[in-house]
Amino acid sequence: MIQVTVNRKESGVIQSFEISGHAFFAERGNDIVCAGVSAVSIGAINAVHALIGITPEIEQKEDGFLRCVIPEHLPEETNEKIQLLLEGMVVSLQTIEEQYGQHIKMTFKKQEVE
C-alpha cells in the first residue's frame, strides 16, 4: 500500500509531505495507482519550481520513497501560491484514495508548535 503523509503547521499550511510504499494494484509498468500518485506528486513539485521559482528540499529513493519539504521563512505571497499548488495535489491524491482505497492511504499530521 502507498502511504501518503501530509504534515501541516499548526496554522494549517502544508510544511512537507512524504510518500512511501507500493500500490500493488497491477504489475510494474501497468500500475495506474502508482503512476497516478507519482504524476500528481512530482507534478506538484515541478509546478512549485517552474511557476514560483522555489526549489523544495527533495529526498527520493528508487523504492518509491519521496519526501518534499517546503523552505521556511518565505514571503507570504510566495507561500500562498505554493499552498494552492500543494492543496491541489492533496485533492488529487484524495480522489485516487477514494477510488483505490485498498492501495493508497493518506494521513494528515499537524505540528503542535510553529
Q: Model's pTM, two decimal places?
A: 0.93
> In terms of residue numbers, what domain contains 15?
2-110
- The string of pLDDT tens digits covering residues 23-65 is 999 998 899 999 999 999 999 999 999 999 999 999 999 888 9
Average pLDDT, the chain: 95
DSSP class of 71? P
SS3 27: coil
Q: How many domains does the chain have?
A: 1
Closest CA relative to residue 45, chosen from 66, 73, 24: 66
Cell of 17: 509531505
Q: Which one of 22, 49, 73, 103 is the catalytic residue?
A: 22
Residue 22 designated active-site: yes
> Of 81, 105, 110, nearest to 9 (Cα)?
110
Does residue 34 have an active-site annotation? yes
- Using CA atoms, how far apart are residues 54 and 79, in angstroms rounded to an integer? 10
Q: What is the pLDDT of residue 35?
A: 96
Per the residue annotation, which of 34, 49, 68, 103 is the catalytic one? Answer: 34
Query: What CATH number did the domain enclosing 76 receive?
Result: 3.30.70.1490
pLDDT of 114 above 60: no
